[in-house]
Amino acid sequence: MKEEVLEPIKVIIADDHVLYRAGVKAALSPKTDIKIIAEADNGMHLINMLKTLSVDVILLDIQMPIMDGIQALPEIRKIAPNAKVIMLTMMDDHSMITKLMEIGANSYLSKTSDSEIIYEAIKTCHKDEYYFNTLTNQALLTNLKQRNIQIPQQLVAQDVHLNEKETTILRLMCEEKSTKEIADIVELSPRTVEALRDKLKVKTGAKSTAGLILYAVKHKLIEEL
């Protein structure tokens, strides 16, 4: 029986700094499971590319001319809804991180992150949809603790009851566990865990995994991240 050959993860880098793009491309080039298929120097350039290219993961800089990453993100979601988007920035802005995760970003990395972290984020987003790290988790927690941040109405439903299994899975998600790790801990199949995660979104009104994290913190299912 022939061993299945997996296609490399197709990645596009969108950043207006040529040297940064070249550095990331060079650092990831030895990785045979990832292939940089294109580069864009602004959001508009990227959007035009997506009309003809199929991509798995996009590394998207926030600050770019003509169209920045924040403006490009909703357009990406329309044109390439299945693409995973990893935001890149030099800014450690908690409110910005939360906003971007809520409107469709799959992760948020500092541009000072080393190549192994970028590689891990690409693989994890492609496989498990989201890559949570200390930066993203702390941002979600910080924003909920600020009194002037209004929690989206769909996340404050009072009549939601989560059973013990659902609560355990939600807590494990907040601890950055992958679907497979959660499945092993709760002794269920990964497919069942994914189904329960989807059920949690319906019950809580969350539109994304980031929304579920917000719900968990808001309802004190986790005290700190």
pLDDT per residue over 149-190, tens digit each?
Answer: 444 444 444 456 788 888 888 888 877 778 888 999 999 888
Which is it for strands 34-40 and 57-61: parallel, antiparallel or unpaired? unpaired
CA neighbor of 139 nearest in space, from 213, 219, 222: 213
CATH number of the domain that 182 lies in?
1.10.10.10
Q: Are residues 128 and 168 in the same domain?
A: no
Percent of the chain at pLDDT exceeding 70: 80
Q: How far apart are CA 33 and CA 55, in angstroms?
A: 14
Q: Are residues 13 and 121 in the same domain?
A: yes
Q: Is residue 13, in this structure, part of any structural domain at all?
A: yes
Q: Is residue 110, in this structure, part of any structural domain at all?
A: yes
Least confident window among 20-24, 63-67, 75-79, 131-135: 131-135
Q: Could you tell me which residue, 207 or 146, shows the higher pLDDT?
A: 207
Last residue of one domain, picked from the residues 122, 142, 162: 142
pLDDT at 194 over 60: yes
Predicted pLDDT of residue 142: 67
pLDDT per residue over 55-98, tens digit each?
Answer: 999 999 999 999 999 999 999 999 999 999 999 988 766 677 77
Structure tokens at 218: 């808001």
Predicted pLDDT of residue 140: 66
Q: Spell out the residues 6+ positions from residue 194 whose beta carbon is closer than 8 angstroms to its own.
A: 179
Q: Are residues 73 and 170 in the same domain?
A: no
CATH number of the domain that 49 lies in?
3.40.50.2300
Structural domain that includes position 204:
153-218
Q: How many CB atoms lie within 10 A of CB 220?
A: 7
